[in-house]
């Protein structure tokens, strides 16, 4: 049963016009009471009047350019088009398309299954973030506007002007391109060829193509290529923002790929490639800082994720607690009730970089 405050429709959903028991006529973005009082009516008020009692009112959505991206619960699905039309009507002209994710991301390209519920069918849009412009096709590439704050945290608080950043899962480039404005150089990789195509467009669009080198390959091959090339800048920051799987890539793929070389030979190769530096105390490693992301539903998500990483590294005979001076944990955002996205930052242990090949890949 609908809320008793809703007596009748005086127009279709697109007109967003109704009469309530209090004599309030809702039309478009404005409400007129019988007394002549006029007030702004928010989407949640309209939906409270339209949806059956007892249903939790959807109150938020992610904005991607002109697209409103909903994550509706099962109880909302019978009313999905009504909800979408209200969102569209109450957020014009900024919002022109309303979509709902129909399934969890389950593919290597991180593309979402989306259903257009209201507005035009175009999923190609332009996003402006931190003064930069990004072309995005939401049906073919991954984008998450809710990570904008985290991207800026890395750039403003962690990265230095002299850094060389390696973005292993770059997508269309929101982090790589933003970082390129500040740091010395960026290596950006994504396995999705469409994402790489948009990344290259966005580099040119923001006039930063000279500071970014792009790769389109599996992240394991990418990191091996970076550390086996004699022509790369020494990497100082590695970002692994693939929360469901990023820790899986810790398993030995940062090793220098010279399995038959002696230790001394490896040191010479590392020095030649700039991974080692000469100092008054002799050779020392300049190991990169790694930022790896994951999810936790534990009461203490930082401890839970730290233990998870420790076990992953133990599988290649490297104990995180013994080889990392400090692991900094940062709560990125609450993605669902009781589920946190966490970023763990630590310096790559030398023992990982030069480990013998008797490890088990994660």
Q: Is residue 293 included in any domain, yes or no?
A: yes
Annotated binding-site residue? 219? yes
CA distance 58 to 72: 7
pLDDT tens-digit readout, 147-199: 999 999 999 999 999 999 999 999 999 999 999 999 999 999 999 999 999 99
Min mean pLDDT across 31-35, 122-126, 149-153 is at 31-35
Annotated binding-site residue? 190? yes
**pLDDT value at residue 233:** 85
Annotated binding-site residue? 268? no
What number is the average pLDDT over the span 70-86? 95
Domain co-membership, 108 together with 256: no
Domain co-membership, 185 together with 329: yes
Contacts 24+ apart (CB under 8 A), 298-305: 301/331, 301/340, 301/342, 302/329, 302/331, 302/342, 305/329, 305/342, 305/344
Residue 216: give its domain's CATH number: 3.40.50.150
Annotated binding-site residue? 218? yes
Domain that holds residue 43: 6-122
Task: Count the Cβ atoms, other than its own, within 10 Å of residue 244.
Answer: 13
Q: Please state the domain count of the chain.
A: 2
Domain co-membership, 70 together with 151: no
Query: Of all residues in the chain, what percent carry a pLDDT higher than 90?
Result: 51
Three-class DSSP category at 298? coil
Q: Which of 6-20, 55-69, 267-281 has the highest mean pLDDT?
A: 55-69
Q: Which of 32-36, 221-225, 282-286 has the highest mean pLDDT?
A: 221-225
Give the residue among 150, 162, 172, 208 at the shortest CA–CA distance from 64: 172
More confident residue, 346 or 125: 125
pLDDT tens-digit readout, 297-342: 999 999 988 888 777 666 544 444 445 557 899 999 999 899 999 9
CA distance 294 to 221: 21
More confident residue, 98 or 361: 98
Domain co-membership, 202 together with 325: yes
Average pLDDT, the chain: 77
Q: Percentages helix, strand, coil for the chain, rounded to the nearest 5?
A: 30, 30, 40
Q: Are 175 and 238 in contact (CB under 8 A)?
A: no
Q: Is residue 268 included in any domain, yes or no?
A: yes
Q: Are 250 and 292 in contact (CB under 8 A)?
A: yes
- Looking at the predicted structure, is the pLDDT value of residue 14 above 90? no
Q: Which of 138-142, 224-228, 272-276 has the highest mean pLDDT?
A: 138-142
Domain co-membership, 200 together with 344: yes
Structure token pair of residue 297: 């539903």
Domain co-membership, 113 together with 194: no
Min mean pLDDT across 6-20, 128-142, 242-256, 297-311 is at 6-20
Give the residue among 174, 162, 228, 206 at the shortest CA–CA distance from 64: 174
**pLDDT value at residue 224:** 80
Query: Of all residues in the chain, what percent carry a pLDDT higher than 70?
Result: 69
Cis peptide before 93 (omega within 30 of 0): yes
Give the residue among 221, 164, 208, 167 at the shortest CA–CA distance from 189: 167
Domain co-membership, 160 together with 71: no
Domain co-membership, 305 together with 172: yes
Domain co-membership, 237 together with 318: yes
Q: Is residue 140 included in any domain, yes or no?
A: no
Domain co-membership, 197 together with 328: yes
Domain co-membership, 294 together with 178: yes
């Amino acid at each position: 049963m609908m809320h008793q405050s809703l007596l009748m429709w005086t127009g279709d959903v697109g007109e967003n016009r109704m009469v309530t028991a209090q004599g309030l006529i809702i039309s478009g973005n404005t409400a007129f009471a019988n007394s002549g009082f006029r007030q702004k009516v928010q989407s949640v008020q309209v939906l409270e009047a339209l949806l059956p009692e007892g249903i939790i009112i959807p109150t938020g959505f992610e904005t991607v350019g002109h697209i409103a991206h909903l994550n509706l619960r099962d109880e909302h699905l019978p009313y999905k088009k009504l909800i979408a039309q209200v969102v569209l009507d109450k957020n014009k002209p900024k919002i022109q398309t309303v979509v709902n994710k129909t399934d969890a991301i389950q593919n290597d390209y991180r593309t979402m299954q989306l259903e257009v519920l209201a507005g035009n069918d175009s999923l190609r849009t332009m996003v402006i973030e931190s003064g930069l412009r990004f072309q995005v096709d939401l049906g073919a590439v991954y984008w998450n506007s809710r990570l904008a704050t985290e991207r800026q945290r890395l750039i403003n608080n962690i990265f230095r002007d002299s850094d060389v950043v390696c973005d292993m899962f770059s997508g269309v480039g929101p982090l790589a391109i933003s970082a390129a404005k500040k740091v010395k150089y960026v290596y950006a990789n994504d396995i999705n060829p469409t994402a790489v195509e948009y990344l290259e467009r966005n580099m040119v669009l923001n006039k930063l193509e000279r500071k970014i080198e792009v790769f389109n390959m599996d992240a394991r091959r990418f990191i091996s290529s970076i550390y086996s090339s004699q022509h790369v800048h020494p990497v100082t920051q590695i970002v692994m923002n693939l929360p469901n799987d990023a820790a899986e890539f810790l398993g030995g793929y940062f090793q220098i790929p010279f399995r038959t070389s002696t230790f001394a030979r490896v040191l010479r190769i590392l020095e030649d490639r700039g991974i080692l530096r000469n100092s008054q105390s002799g050779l020392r490693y300049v190991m990169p800082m790694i930022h790896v992301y994951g999810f936790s539903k534990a009461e203490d998500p930082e401890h839970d994720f730290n233990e998870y990483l420790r076990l992953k590294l133990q599988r290649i005979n490297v104990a995180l607690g013994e080889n990392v001076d400090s692991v900094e944990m940062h709560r990125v955002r609450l993605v669902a009730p009781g589920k946190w996205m966490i970023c763990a930052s630590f310096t790559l242990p030398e023992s990982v970089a030069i480990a013998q090949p008797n490890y088990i890949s994660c």
